[in-house]
């Protein structure tokens, strides 16, 4: 079965064959066809490039977030918002092509509709609102330390009569902070766990001492830091060290200190943790996840001292989604620091 592109190619080939059969295949005809195709193709690419730039600008300026909040908090029925959106589409259709309208409105309309639907069913609108993989708790390994209960930013963990954790699914936002807080690793998610990320760390090819190739681990928040690195790579002029290996995490609060210890023991020469801004003007999508991670990572110095490693081998930074130039530079700074300190002794 031919796809759309393949069918178009087959039709073009058939046209060439028929034109040749009727002795009408001339260079002037071919040139006109190529020129027409180029005009349409260039126009399409310009529309796509403009749409991509428009989406990025909305993300950088926070306009999309502001529009979503405004639409979700309007004192009117959601159906009226949808009607207004349809009227805008009708007005745009009087002087714009369908593809242009789609590229212009989808980056705005889609999050608004998603927010309205979440508000209708009483579900919080947050980065993982569509993810229903709630925490899984292994009771037999729990020490009842209550760290998960205390550190949960949303108060989504209660206690049963035996003082074991009980997860409140209506409040849980699946950030994974409870998983990062648990010292005995009994909390996990169906598609995200201490073991799954730990396996990613161990599967990275680790050069030996003769290769003289360092390895830098980057644990980047998937909401701000990872998109910033992704956009930096798309631009091409903000590259970071080839020795870095980036692993996205749900939130920096979900980072378990065992990942840092395992990475250092496996021979990683440096570790960079990138989370959102914390404090009063926090930008963390899960309120206190980044703050909790910074508290945990402040105690990593003891681990580094135990392993006889320099404390500069592990750094934690606050990164915004707009830090397209800064995020790669932080990784490059770690690469330079590793070059000065030398390879990790655990490689040998």
Domain that holds residue 75: 15-120
Structure confidence at residue 56 as a pLDDT band (50, 70, 90): low
CATH of the domain at 241: 3.40.50
- 172 lies in some domain: no
In a shared domain, residues 212 and 104: no
In a shared domain, residues 198 and 302: yes
- pLDDT tens digits, 137-178: 888 889 889 889 888 888 888 888 888 888 887 788 888 999
The Cα 98–Cα 67 span in angstroms is 23
HEC string of 292-324?
HHHHHHCCHHHHHHHCCCCHHHEEEEECCCCCC
- 212 lies in some domain: yes
- 347 lies in some domain: no
Structure confidence at residue 329 as a pLDDT band (50, 70, 90): very high
Q: DSSP letter string over 174-223?
A: ---HHHHH-TT--EEBTTB-HHHHHHHHHHS----TTTT---EEEEEETT
In a shared domain, residues 237 and 331: yes
Q: Please determine, for residue 181, whether its predicted confidence score (pLDDT) is greater than 80.
A: yes
Q: Please determine, for residue 239, whether its predicted confidence score (pLDDT) is greater than 60.
A: yes
- Extended beta strands in the chain, E state: 136-137, 157-159, 165-167, 187-188, 216-221, 244-249, 270-275, 314-318
In a shared domain, residues 210 and 338: yes
- 104 lies in some domain: yes
In a shared domain, residues 208 and 320: yes
Which among 91, 120, 149 is the end of a domain? 120
Which among 93, 120, 147 is the end of a domain? 120
Contacts of 51 (CB under 8 A, 6+ apart): 103, 104, 107
- 46 lies in some domain: yes
In a shared domain, residues 76 and 213: no
Structure confidence at residue 317 as a pLDDT band (50, 70, 90): very high
In a shared domain, residues 321 and 219: yes
pTM above 0.85, yes or no: no
Q: Please determine, for residue 271, whether its predicted confidence score (pLDDT) is greater than 90.
A: yes
Mean pLDDT check: name the lowest of 2-6, 183-187, 266-270: 2-6
Number of separate domains in the chain:
2
The Cα 187–Cα 253 span in angstroms is 14
Highest mean pLDDT among 44-53, 221-230, 234-243 belongs to 221-230
pLDDT > 70 fraction of the chain, expressed in percent and rounded: 89
- pLDDT tens digits, 194-215: 999 989 888 887 776 666 788 8
Residue with tokens 């003891």: 302
Task: Tell me how crowded residue 59 is: count the other CB atoms within 10 A of its CB.
Answer: 16
Q: Please determine, for residue 338, whether its predicted confidence score (pLDDT) is greater than 60.
A: yes
In a shared domain, residues 116 and 210: no
pLDDT at residue 3, as a whole number:
64
Which among 103, 120, 137 is the end of a domain? 120
Q: What are the structure tokens assigned to 348, written together?
A: 């040998």
Q: Please determine, for residue 64, whether its predicted confidence score (pLDDT) is greater than 70.
A: no
- pLDDT tens digits, 95-134: 887 877 877 787 778 778 877 776 666 555 566 666 778 8
- 183 lies in some domain: no
Structure confidence at residue 315 as a pLDDT band (50, 70, 90): very high
In a shared domain, residues 317 and 200: yes
- 72 lies in some domain: yes
Q: Please determine, for residue 247, whether its predicted confidence score (pLDDT) is greater than 90.
A: yes
Q: Please determine, for residue 61, whether its predicted confidence score (pLDDT) is greater than 70.
A: no
- 115 lies in some domain: yes
């Amino acid at each position: 079965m031919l796809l759309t592109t393949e069918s178009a190619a087959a039709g073009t080939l058939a046209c060439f064959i028929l034109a040749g059969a009727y002795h009408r295949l001339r260079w002037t005809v071919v040139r006109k066809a190529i020129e027409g195709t180029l005009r349409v193709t260039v126009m399409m690419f310009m529309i796509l490039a403009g749409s991509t730039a428009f989406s990025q600008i909305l993300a950088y300026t926070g306009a999309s977030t502001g529009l979503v909040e405004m639409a979700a908090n309007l004192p009117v029925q959601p159906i009226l918002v949808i009607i207004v959106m349809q009227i805008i589409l009708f007005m745009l259709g009087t002087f714009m092509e369908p593809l242009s309208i789609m590229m212009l409105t989808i980056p705005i309309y889609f999050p608004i509709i998603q927010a309205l639907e979440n508000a209708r069913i009483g579900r919080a609108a947050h980065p993982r609102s569509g993810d229903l993989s709630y925490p899984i708790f292994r009771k037999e390994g729990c020490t009842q330390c209550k760290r998960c209960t205390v550190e949960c930013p949303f108060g989504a963990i209660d206690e049963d009569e035996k003082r074991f954790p009980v997860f409140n699914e209506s409040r849980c936002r699946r950030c994974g902070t409870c998983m990062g807080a648990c010292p005995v690793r009994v909390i996990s998610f169906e598609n995200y766990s201490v073991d799954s990320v730990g396996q990613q760390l161990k599967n990275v090819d680790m050069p030996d001492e003769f290769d003289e190739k360092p390895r830098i681990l980057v644990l980047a928040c998937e909401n701000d830091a990872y998109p910033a690195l992704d956009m930096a790579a798309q631009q091409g002029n903000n590259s970071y060290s080839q020795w870095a290996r980036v692993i996205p995490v749900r939130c920096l609060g979900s980072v378990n200190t065992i990942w840092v210890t395992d990475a250092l023991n496996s021979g990683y020469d440096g570790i960079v943790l990138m989370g959102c801004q914390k404090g009063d003007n926090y930008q963390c999508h899960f309120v206190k996840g980044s703050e909790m991670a910074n508290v945990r990572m402040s105690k990593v110095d003891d681990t580094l001292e135990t392993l006889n490693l320099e404390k500069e081998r592990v750094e934690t930074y606050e990164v915004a989604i707009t830090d397209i130039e800064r995020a790669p530079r932080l990784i490059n700074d770690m690469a330079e620091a590793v070059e000065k300190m030398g390879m990790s002794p655990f490689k040998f």
